[in-house]
Amino acid sequence: MAHEYGKKGEELVYWDGREQDILANWVDVEDHQFEPPAAKLIFEMVIIKPNNGLAPDQDVVAEAEAKLGNVLDVYETQLAKFMYLATDKYTIADLLHLPNLQSLMGTPAKKLIESRPPVRAWCCEILARPAWAKVLEMKHTAQVLACLFEHDLDFEFVPVNLDAGEQKQKAFLSMNPFGEVPVYEDSDLKQFESRAIIRCMAHENGKKGEELIYWNAREQAIVANWVDVEDHRFEPPAMKLIFELVIKPNNGLTPNQGEVAEAEAKLGNILDVYETQLAKFKYLASYKYTIVDVLHLPNLQSLMGTPAKKLIESRPRVRAWSAEILARPAWAKVLEMKHKAQA
């Protein structure tokens, strides 16, 4: 796609053979030099060990940090010559780094990036790009919209031009200092972070339409537990699969089958737990539809359009649950809004 549509929007490749060879070299660097230690750190600090109550192996962390540090030293030298990794323009070499950089910046390993000024500036620049913001934020907006429709609330949807950087302007930052969408405004209440918005909305409007929470503290504690499961266990491997099977192909890149296999194995383990839970309840946290199920909608929708749907379809209860919640009228309205916006 980068070659076929390079003349439309921003070019992510070069048409000159020599320049494209340099770009291809840095794509290989990301794959063979940057990815292995980055993935190891993410395994130890983000996805598996912390989410299973295990302490990171500090020897493994130290070894991976040393290896990644050596790679970033090379990046530091390269970025002293160019604004981006392969050249002075943003290319697929930079794009491929986005998911791992996003994860690393939420761990103590971010010191490896922040201690190298050109690397830090490059990382901030590419993570702030509107296209990446859309990848991260479109699903969060969809979650909030689904909750609005479930409660049958009247609302005004105000589009934010991410390409023009409206989310970084003073007026928007007064509502969300992090400059990200969505933001929920109700009279004097201004709230950001999709899960917080959904929790607030469900408590405030729970008597209107279908309740998505419990009023009993013990029952709601169970819902909160499964909200954390979606956030910390389901989301990371689901997003990895979506990046490999949706975002990469949409940018003319081939999925890394090793990454796909690893993410499928991790997500499969999570869905095995879901299968057991759904043998007890119709929905994930309870016998009734709650915010837990709402939060799964965007990633389930994306996964069902990829080969990874086999993970869902091979588990009868997970398949039935997924089909049930994806068919809800409120979610259909979200998809309708999305299609109209893209038309």
Other CB atoms within 10 A of residue 270 CB: 20
CA-to-CA distance for 253 and 94, rounded, in angstroms? 13
- The secondary element (H helix, E strand) that includes residue 336 is helix 329-342
| ∠ CA 258-268-296, rounded to 5° | 110
- DSSP labels for 163-196? TTTGGGSHHHHTT-TT--S-EEEETTEEEESHHH
* Cβ proximity of 290 and 213 under 8 Å: yes
Q: Among the residues of the chain, which ranges form H helices?
A: 17-29, 35-42, 58-79, 92-95, 98-104, 110-114, 117-127, 130-150, 170-173, 194-204, 217-229, 235-242, 248-250, 257-277, 291-303, 309-313, 316-326, 329-342
CA-to-CA distance for 8 and 16, rounded, in angstroms? 17
Domain end call among 109, 127, 145 = 127
Query: For position 114, which CATH number holds?
Result: 1.20.1050.10
pLDDT of residue 120: 94
C-alpha to C-alpha distances, 162 to 181, 207, 239, 248, nearest whole angstrom = 9, 35, 21, 21
Peptide bond into 118 cis (omega under 30): no
Q: Is residue 208 part of a domain?
A: no
Tens digit of each residue's pLDDT, the chain (343 residues): 344 444 444 554 444 557 667 778 888 899 899 989 998 888 788 655 555 567 788 999 999 999 999 999 999 999 999 999 988 888 878 888 888 888 788 788 999 999 999 999 999 888 877 667 666 557 788 888 888 888 888 888 887 776 677 777 887 787 778 777 788 888 888 888 877 888 777 778 766 546 777 778 888 888 889 999 998 899 989 988 998 898 888 777 788 899 899 999 999 999 999 999 999 999 999 999 999 999 999 999 999 989 999 999 999 999 999 999 999 988 888 887 776 665 4
Q: Is residue 121 part of a domain?
A: yes
SS3 state at 259: helix
Q: Determine what percent of the chain falls in helix, strand and coil, rounding each to the nearest 5.
A: 65, 0, 35
Domain end call among 127, 146, 175 = 127
pLDDT of residue 11: 54
pLDDT of residue 53: 60
Backbone angles phi, psi at 190, to 5 degrees: -125, 120
What's the domain range around 92? 17-127
Q: Is residue 286 part of a domain?
A: yes
Q: Is residue 267 part of a domain?
A: yes
* Cβ proximity of 250 and 1 under 8 Å: yes
SS3 state at 254: coil
| Domain total in the chain | 2
pLDDT of residue 265: 95
pLDDT of residue 4: 41
Backbone angles phi, psi at 204, to 5 degrees: -75, -30
Q: Is residue 135 part of a domain?
A: no
Identity at 147, one-letter amino acid code:
C
What is the residue whose two structure tokens read 């994930």? 284
Question: Is residue 334 located within the same domain as residue 226?
Answer: yes
pLDDT of residue 238: 93
Question: Is residue 122 located within the same domain as residue 228?
Answer: no
Other CB atoms within 10 A of residue 266 CB: 21
Q: Is residue 63 part of a domain?
A: yes
Q: Is residue 170 part of a domain?
A: no
The neighbouring-strand residues paired with 185 are 190
Q: Is residue 5 part of a domain?
A: no
Domain end call among 127, 142, 171 = 127
